Amino acid sequence: MDVREVPGVGAKTADRLAELDDPEQALSEGDVAAIARAPGISDGRAARIARAAIRHRHGDDGEFLATDRARELYRDALGLLQERAVTDYAARRLETLYPSASESRVAEVRGFAERAMGREPDPDVLEALAGVEPLEAPGDVRVRDRCLATSNAEAYSAARDAVPEMSVELVDDARGLAELARGYSTVVALDERFAGVEVEGDVRVEPRALDDPERIVPERTLAFFARNRGPLRAAAAVAREAGLDAPLEPDALDDALAELNDDGTVAGDEELRRLTDAVDDLDAAVSMAESVANDRLRAAIEDRDVTVEGADLLSLVERGAGVDSLLERELADEYAAAVDAARDHLVDALDLADHTDIARRAFADDPTFPVEHDERAVSRLREELTAARDRRATARKRDLAADLADLREPAHELVDAGLELDVELAVARFAADFDCTMPTFEGRGIAIEGGRSPLLDVPFEEVEPVDYGIEGVALLSGVNSGGKTSTLDLVGLVVVLGQMGLPVPAESARLERFEALHYQAKSQGTLDAGAFEATLREFGDLVVGSDRRLVLVDELESITEPGASAVIIAGILEALAEGDSTAVFVSHLAAEIRAECTIDVTVDGIEAVGLEDGELVVNRSPRKDHLARSTPELIVEKLARGGDAEDGAFYEALLAKFDGGESR
Ligand SMILES: Nc1ncnc2c1ncn2[C@@H]1O[C@H](COP(=O)(O)OP(=O)(O)OP(=O)(O)O)[C@@H](O)[C@H]1O
């Protein structure tokens, strides 16, 4: 699929999508996560692009939801699904499910939904899913201790593109390389011609370095895993808990991540920690070692009586010799022991078994009091330790990055599998929460058994099941608050969900595959002339179309005065009956409309089966071919039956008028 063919994808978006590894595949699979990885494309936009691409693939015009109320029902259905998604990703991905007239699209989602309904929503999996999110590219990674060098302008710009984390320097010759080697701890030269050049410092000639940039910048891989550690661990937990057929062993990923710190440095390496601590604690350990020596020496001096013969003292004073000479002569052994103690302390405190020689040189053999360290020797020790630390860190980074680089693709797949599982679990939970079944698509019209709308204003467990079927056009009559609007909503919802390819809240449902859903909600009172005309025009457009549509209309009579309404509705029904539409018109004027119709229109009714404590007891399933009695009629009947002798005749007479009306 060419991305530019997708409706709504302009040149700018196409350029952004082109940055993806495989934009065509992302679009053809409706893969919201992959699309959202394109720069500047939000999750919401990615969902819209994915939906447009799916429509395009199925040759679907996307006109199924033809009215505001139809669109509202879809949004409500989507909301119920999205409430059951744990991740934001799954909520977005669910937006790619939409009611479609395309048989192939419906079949595609039905396959997915059937698989999803086989999933068991395990609370541990849902908890683990909370931490899963699409993986992100790491923020800015800067590498300062290494640089790339080349004398070739083309290689220079290729290197800048391939390794933006590192400086790339243009050099003319070996002198240039040598200069760089003084400023960077490692220089990677890209030109073959530098092979064999003798330069001081760590200069490597690697003409193929750009083939595998992550090898010269292991930080890139490490930063990616450090940045995404949370979602990766969560995805590993999901795979483990859900027993997913994972593209990598979740434990292996956990183990690899355990070797990484949040800042992308290597964790858990004893040797590196020892060297790092040694560099950090060097000054403190040296001064502590000095104290150790001086305390010992001071104690030794205090304990000693030094006898100096007069002649010796004279000669010492004449030579201007200080106490050092005295120390050397009289306390040589004590001094040597004190310095030894200082050296041992330094080696032990910093665990410098493999740097013993240079560490011991930090304290010279020449006697002084107080004992002082040799600054030059300490500086050299510091340099050696720092270099050893950096070498170790780089080697470990490279090893760990090499292990992790192989896990990168499977890690993406693991996270994607977790996110897709969340989409499936949202559908599974929706189906379980609302006792759903997959509808069948056959025949004309619809037939719902045991339908229970989750959109009612009563808790779902209290929703009474409704059986209702229609073929052709029908009027739906019934008592006030009997459930007429709710029945239209149920029919609309079942059709919307069914044509999304999803299960529907019913014991069973047989549906015709419609090309559009027109659902006209009840208008809030009489319309002015302009609005009335606009509404009539809508119906004008509707009846001339030849599509197989489902038309649901709620109390259209309220748009104008009752007499005119009955005539208009009768006319619309006649026109619809001539076409291929299936229609239900809820109306309190069913008898009047039927009287105006030149065709034999079915009138179904939601009946009150009685009055209980002043409340109507209703059978929520419409009775076929039955004009339900209205609430006023029921009240009159109640009065006629229970009234006293005086006004009883009056109510009887009223009731007789109703009966007469029904028989019209
Ligand atoms: N199947 C059902 N199960 C339980 N309660 C229901 C059911 N259908 C409807 N109700 C309850 O009845 C109320 C009224 O339903 P609805 O608005 O559909 O009636 P209506 O016949 O369209 O009313 P009106 O004649 O006033 O337009 C709903 O708000 C809901 O509380």
Tens of pLDDT, residues 170-204 = 999 889 999 998 888 889 999 998 888 888 888 89
The CA distance from 635 to 293, in Å, is 110
Q: pLDDT grade, residue 323 (50/70/90)?
A: low
Q: Tell me the pairing of strands 615-618 and 608-612.
A: antiparallel
Q: How many angstroms does the Cα of residue 620 sit away from the middle of ligand 1?
A: 8
* Tens digits of residue pLDDT in 338-388: 999 999 999 999 998 888 888 899 998 887 778 899 999 999 999 889 888
Mean pLDDT of 536-561: 85
Q: pLDDT grade, residue 305 (50/70/90)?
A: confident
Asked whether 478 lines ligand 1 (CB < 6 A), one says yes
* Tens digits of residue pLDDT in 152-168: 999 999 999 999 999 99
Does pLDDT of 59 surpass 70?
Answer: yes
* Tens digits of residue pLDDT in 165-177: 999 999 998 899 9
Return the pLDDT at 663.
Answer: 36
Ligand 1, residues 452, 455, 456: which to mutate, most atoms within 8 A of Cβ?
456
* Total residue count of the chain as it appears in this document: 664
* Tens digits of residue pLDDT in 628-642: 877 777 778 778 777
Return the pLDDT at 317.
Answer: 76
Return the pLDDT at 662.
Answer: 47
The CA distance from 237 to 342, in Å, is 52
Beta strands per DSSP E along 452-548: 466-470, 473-478, 508-511, 516-520
The CA distance from 147 to 86, in Å, is 44
Query: Above pLDDT 70, what percent of the chain?
Result: 97
Mean pLDDT of 250-272: 88
* Tens digits of residue pLDDT in 565-602: 889 999 999 999 988 899 999 998 998 999 999 998 99
The CA distance from 476 to 557, in Å, is 13
Bridge partners, residue 451, by sequence: 466
Whole-number average pLDDT of the chain: 89
Q: How many angstroms does the Cα of residue 290 sit away from the middle of ligand 1?
A: 91
The CA distance from 658 to 591, in Å, is 11
Measured torsion, CA atoms of residues 357, 359, 361, 367, in degrees rounded to the nearest 10: -130
Q: How many angstroms does the Cα of residue 456 sit away from the middle of ligand 1?
A: 8
Asked whether 466 lines ligand 1 (CB < 6 A), one says yes
Which residues neighbour 410 within 8 Å (Cβ) at sequence distance 6 or greater? Answer: 246, 247, 248
**Tokens standing for 585?**
């018109």
| ipTM above 0.85 for this complex | yes
Q: pLDDT grade, residue 149 (50/70/90)?
A: very high
Reported as half-sphere exposure (CB side, CA atoms, 13 A), residue 440 has a value of 8
Return the pLDDT at 91.
Answer: 92
Asked whether 464 lines ligand 1 (CB < 6 A), one says yes
Does pLDDT of 20 surpass 90?
Answer: no
Q: How many angstroms does the Cα of residue 284 sit away from the middle of ligand 1?
A: 81
Does pLDDT of 461 surpass 80?
Answer: yes
Return the pLDDT at 322.
Answer: 65
Mean pLDDT of 61-66: 87
* Tens digits of residue pLDDT in 485-528: 999 999 999 999 999 999 999 999 999 999 999 999 987 777 77
Number of Cβ atoms within 10 Å of the Cβ of 442: 10
Q: Which residue has the higher pLDDT, 602 or 480?
A: 602
Give the strands of the sheet with 466-470, arranged side by side: 440-441, 508-511, 446-451, 466-470
